[in-house]
Amino acid sequence: MTLVGWVQVLVFFALIVAVTKPLGVFMHRVFETGEAPLGRFLGRIENSIYKLFGVDPKREQDWKEYCFALLAFSALGVLVTYGIERLQGHLPFNPQHFPGVPQELAFNTAGSFVTNTNWQSYSGESTMSYLTQMAGLAWHNFTSAASGIAVALCLARGFTRRGGPAGPKTLGNFWVDLNRSILYVLLPLSFLFALVLVSQGVIQNLKPYLDVTTLEGAKQTLTLGPVASQEAIKQLGTNGGGFFNANAAHPFENPTPFTNLISLFLIFAIPAGLTYTYGRMAKDSKQGWILFAAMSFLFFAGLVVCYHAEAGGNSAFAGLPLQQTLGNMEGKEARFGVAASTLYATVTTDASCGAVNAMHDSFTALGGLVPLVNIELSEVVFGGVGAGLYGMLIFVVLSVFIAGLMVGRTPEYLGKKVEAKDIQLATLYILVFPIIILGFAAWAAVSAMGVSSLNNNGAHGLSEILYAFSSAAGNNGSAFAGLNANTPFWNIALGISMLAGRFLMIVPALGIAGAMVAKKVVAPSLGTFPTNGPLFAFLLVSVILIVGALTFFPALSLGPIVDHFQSLQGKVF
């Protein structure tokens, strides 16, 4: 590890701290005040969009209506993207004349982008037309991110609205939250940052690939396309789906260490800002900052381990006359080096982004363990846009419950009692995740359909399987990419994991919101456990770590941990 490497980390983190409040305040204005925060012109566009939708923005929905709207919109999204992929051969913006995408892959990809996962079983540059990239995929980068924000808002309103049993049981209007997050947050920032990225070398055009003759006289085909517009929203919406197979390691997606910093900033900006928005909704900004603090602790803990492991070099080269002062450079780009690569790997898996600027499969065993653990902690470390906040709030409910058990009182949060039904829903939310991951991973590990896709032998092969299902169920989308996931078994199994990992978790989260919103508000008493102090942050972090460790430690010990000890002995398979 180097000093300059840590300066890079700290500058990045300082930018996130700096943006949290202003962006949080802005999003509070967007979602909770009904104002037109970016001037009357956009306000007029907003209203015409409601007319086109055919909705009355004044009418609020209860949790079931809200949930139905979200599910219906997502289901249509799967169908439309599936259709565009299958038909791309007959549609415009296809200068490379790519044929329609095969069925299983089209299903996997549609599910992947609707769920904000952006797992990619395909190579963009040899599979997807520009139309599919723009209208089939980047479209979902907006809508799935907006849906995540909507769910987080819904849950936050459930906790923070103070109507009591006599008040309304509604939680907002899905179509309003969707429209406003796209129009006021995602679109303007994406447009702005897309142009910043282009100025640094990210490409943006609709031209066919270009054949050139290299200096040594060989032929090279340069791939082109509308990359920057997708890159900006892919980071901002924590989607992570690359235009190209190599994702943000590709020089046309992420040409310089400066664009790398911008990408990292975009990934964490909204999730960090939402913690402040939440504090403002709770009328106690400390409630938000305490979540921010817990997240920051877990962020740095993961980063230190990952950076330290990668800086130590690659054991596969032990004994060779190599100077490994740069650290483990297999699967990393020269311009980023170990510091910027491990920072990216930590950020992209803390948030459920899944973009990569280095190949996690080639990380050292412990370096690769960190991204995997980050995902398996349910991506609550800032997390996906919206998804991070609502995931964290579920853990808050659980922590409050455990604290209540310890002192023998009915737990309460923000003045609302947490009761049996809420805990059942929270437990369901927590359990869905390991059931998908461990269930499918076990199946894949013992079936020929599963193991025939592996790129690495030995314990590292199990890590590839575990990572794939964790990434899919966690809606992350990064990969130990040696695994050949473009087979019917993997496409279907991962497709199901992604859909289950998104919607089977959103429904209980919205259920909790519905149960919470109309609860009686009790004044804090001496026996109330304060949820805005360091003690609570400590408890919250402990609960996250304990739940994660109890669930996944046995599996991890057979994968990355065995891999680590074998690599220490210099074993290769």
How many other β-carbons are positioned within 10 Å of the β-carbon of residue 293?
17
> With respect to another protein, which residue has the nearer C-beta, 248 or 426?
248
For residue 210, the cross-strand partners are 222
- Locate tokens 């086109």: which residue? 52
Least distance to another protein, CB of residue 342, Å: 13
Least distance to another protein, CB of residue 343, Å: 10
> With respect to another protein, which residue has the nearer C-beta, 323 or 525?
323
φ and ψ at 55, to 5 degrees?
Answer: -120, 155
Angle separating helix axes 365-376 and 285-311, nearest 10 degrees = 160
How many other β-carbons are positioned within 10 Å of the β-carbon of residue 489?
17
Coil, strand, or helix at residue 219? strand
Task: Decide: residue 200, CB within 10 A, 0-12 exposed, 13-18 middle, 19+ buried.
Answer: middle
Distance of CA 103 to the CA centre of its chain: 26
> With respect to another protein, which residue has the nearer C-beta, 115 or 328?
328
- Locate tokens 């700096």: which residue? 18
> With respect to another protein, which residue has the nearer C-beta, 41 or 165?
41
φ and ψ at 204, to 5 degrees?
Answer: -155, 95
Least distance to another protein, CB of residue 531, Å: 36
Residue 269 to residue 192: CA distance in whole angstroms: 14
> With respect to another protein, which residue has the nearer C-beta, 330 or 419?
330
> With respect to another protein, which residue has the nearer C-beta, 103 or 204?
204
Least distance to another protein, CB of residue 423, Å: 30
How many other β-carbons are positioned within 10 Å of the β-carbon of residue 534?
10
Using only the alpha carbons of the chain, give its radius of gyration.
23
Least distance to another protein, CB of residue 457, Å: 8
> With respect to another protein, which residue has the nearer C-beta, 130 or 289?
130
DSSP E strands, 414-549: 416-417
CA angle 460, 466, 433 (to 5 degrees): 165
**What sign does the dihedral 61-67-71-72 (CA atoms) show?**
negative
Least distance to another protein, CB of residue 135, Å: 4
Least distance to another protein, CB of residue 322, Å: 5
Least distance to another protein, CB of residue 311, Å: 12
Residue 520 DSSP class: P
Asked if residue 488 lies in contact with residue 367, where contact means CB atoms within 8 angstroms, the answer is no
**What sign does the dihedral 277-279-285-288 (CA atoms) show?**
negative
> With respect to another protein, which residue has the nearer C-beta, 52 or 166?
52
> With respect to another protein, which residue has the nearer C-beta, 256 or 528?
256
> With respect to another protein, which residue has the nearer C-beta, 205 or 542?
205
Least distance to another protein, CB of residue 411, Å: 35
How many other β-carbons are positioned within 10 Å of the β-carbon of residue 25?
15
Write out the two tokens for 377: 């902690």
Residue 117 to residue 134: CA distance in whole angstroms: 17
Residue 263: which residues within 8 A CB-CB, separation 6 or more?
Answer: 231, 235, 248, 254, 344, 355, 357
> With respect to another protein, which residue has the nearer C-beta, 300 or 317?
317
Residue 284 to residue 570: CA distance in whole angstroms: 54
Least distance to another protein, CB of residue 230, Å: 7
Least distance to another protein, CB of residue 46, Å: 12
